[in-house]
């Protein structure tokens, strides 16, 4: 049994790892989206304990894409 091919493969593995890591960073993309929502409602009927409801919310959407996808 020859162990030379296994030894060569183990020695070359770190070289491929660095090349793959460079592609992962170079081709990556990131996108940030901001969204706002304002809700304003007037209650006109008596059974409701409040006369109005006003709310505001803000959301962030972050999309990250690596060089592999």
Q: 65 CB contacts (<8 Å, ≥6 apart)?
A: 28, 29, 30
pLDDT at residue 33 in the model: 95
Question: With contact defined as beta carbons under 8 Å apart, do 60 and 43 qualify?
Answer: no
Q: What is the pLDDT of residue 51?
A: 78
What pLDDT is recorded for position 37? 94
Q: pLDDT truncated to tens, each residue of the chain (69 aa)?
A: 455 566 666 666 665 555 555 566 777 889 999 999 999 988 777 677 777 889 999 999 999 887 765
Cβ–Cβ under 8 Å, residues 26 and 67:
yes
Q: Is the pTM of this model over 0.85?
A: no
First vs last C-alpha separation in the chain: 40
The span from the CA of 69 to the CA of 64, in Å, is: 10
The SS3 call for residue 16 is helix
């Amino acid at each position: 049994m020859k162990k030379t091919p296994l030894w060569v493969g183990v020695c070359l593995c770190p070289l491929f790892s660095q090349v793959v890591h460079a592609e992962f960073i170079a081709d990556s993309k990131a996108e940030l989206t901001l969204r706002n929502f304002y809700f304003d409602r007037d209650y006109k009927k008596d059974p409701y304990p409040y006369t109005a409801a006003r709310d505001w919310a803000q959301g962030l959407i972050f999309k990250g894409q690596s060089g592999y996808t």
